[in-house]
Amino acid sequence: MTYIKPVLYFVLLAAQAFAQAQDLPRVHILATGGTIASTGDNGLLTAADLTSAIPELEHVAEISIEDFVTIPSSRMTPEIQFQLAQRVNELLDSTDVAGVVITHGTDSLEESAFFLDLLVNNPKPVVFTAAQRPPTRVDTDGPKNLLNAVLIAANENSRGFGVTITLNDEIHAARNARKTHSTAVEAFRSAGTGKLGYVDEGNIYYLWKPTRRVHMSPETIQPRVDLIRLVAGSNGHLIRAAVQSGAKGLIIEVFGRGNVPPEAAAELSSAIEQGTIVVFSTRTGDGRVILYPWAREMGVISGEDLDGLKARMVLIAALGQHSDTKAIQEIYTQLSGSVAN
């Protein structure tokens, strides 16, 4: 009997540890490639490679993994982003999934994250993370960013914040986040609002909650939406070329609050007459555009305060379920946070 008790004790401990593990929330990791997975020789690590390098994950959540795509994010497309949104919706519909983490390259991260914020309407957390420095470097930021992302996704208090992005211990709302530096670990910033929250010593702190959100459920998308920035001397030839090559929508980054050279305005008028949807966004990167009378009469849509990249993602989704410019304008207006007088 003197030997049975210690054996039973350790069996009990093992059973308790197993039960505790079973009680951990399940976080599903979708890997898509990017610098966080880059080996430096054109190779990319798998989701299994990424998670096996972070043993601390097993204390945070029950992890399931999936290699969705394995590409540099400069090769991301609207079609892949749409498929990613559909997959995330499927996962979140599962009762045993507490949240989803997506590893992604930083090049197009802000576009993918915002696109999913538009298309995912489940309160469970969806967290994008990435790295500015690859795992081959001694100062790689990927493992810590991924651990933080899982911490956020596993926490039930992260519900209802929409799609978020975490790097460098910061949390940003997909609606506001922008990549502002090519290599710095603090590259992502949220103009106008500041960061959504942060992670400190394994604790999550939220500073505010996003309200300017819109949900869309298109059965298809329209990927042929081009983004054109006006510059000194713009005469409209890029607008004409885009329409001739089959663009169904155009996001025009205009000067200031809505200024367009006459030659470019004439090409926009022609584009709209041919059925192309035109949306204005300011090229300044912050602030709202307004539609001057000539633009309103022409049928231009205001992208409000969205930058060109995000205004494009809205139109790609909106053209999948709307052709009426008033309905599309309403989406941008809602995203602006406008309150009717």
**Predicted local distance difference test score (pLDDT) of residue 1:** 37
- Are 229 and 203 contacting, i.e. CB atoms less than 8 angstroms apart? no
Using DSSP's 3-state secondary structure scheme, residue 309 falls into helix
**Predicted local distance difference test score (pLDDT) of residue 41:** 76
- Are 66 and 30 contacting, i.e. CB atoms less than 8 angstroms apart? yes
- Are 230 and 283 contacting, i.e. CB atoms less than 8 angstroms apart? yes
Q: What's the rounded mean pLDDT across residues 268-274?
A: 98
- Are 187 and 132 contacting, i.e. CB atoms less than 8 angstroms apart? yes
d(CA 290, CA 304): 7
Q: What's the rounded mean pLDDT across residues 69-94?
A: 97
d(CA 107, CA 114): 14
pLDDT digits (tens, 9 = 90+) for 224-253: 999 999 999 999 999 999 999 999 999 999
Q: What's the rounded mean pLDDT across residues 77-105?
A: 98
**Predicted local distance difference test score (pLDDT) of residue 333:** 97
Q: What's the rounded mean pLDDT across residues 267-280?
A: 98
**Predicted local distance difference test score (pLDDT) of residue 3:** 38
d(CA 267, CA 258): 16
Domain with CATH 3.40.50.1170 in the chain: 12-206
Among candidates 26, 23, 43, which has minimal Cα distance to 35?
A: 43
With a cut of 80, say whether residue 11 has pLDDT above it: no
With a cut of 80, say whether residue 13 has pLDDT above it: no
The whole-chain average pLDDT of the chain stands at 92
Superfamily of domain 12-206: L-asparaginase, N-terminal domain (3.40.50.1170)
With a cut of 80, say whether residue 84 has pLDDT above it: yes
d(CA 63, CA 316): 33
**Predicted local distance difference test score (pLDDT) of residue 9:** 36
- Are 60 and 150 contacting, i.e. CB atoms less than 8 angstroms apart? yes
Could you tell me where the beta strands, DSSP code E, fall in 180-282?
A: 188-190, 197-200, 203-206, 225-229, 249-254, 277-282
With a cut of 90, say whether residue 339 has pLDDT above it: no
Query: Residue 117, Cβ neighbours under 10 Å: how many?
Result: 27
Q: What's the rounded mean pLDDT across residues 4-22?
A: 41
d(CA 75, CA 107): 9
Catalogue the active-site residues: 35
With a cut of 90, say whether residue 20 has pLDDT above it: no
- Are 152 and 161 contacting, i.e. CB atoms less than 8 angstroms apart? no
d(CA 15, CA 108): 45
- The enclosing H or E element of 15 equals helix 4-23
Return the CATH class of domain 225-336.
Answer: alpha beta
With a cut of 50, say whether residue 14 has pLDDT above it: no
- Are 220 and 244 contacting, i.e. CB atoms less than 8 angstroms apart? no
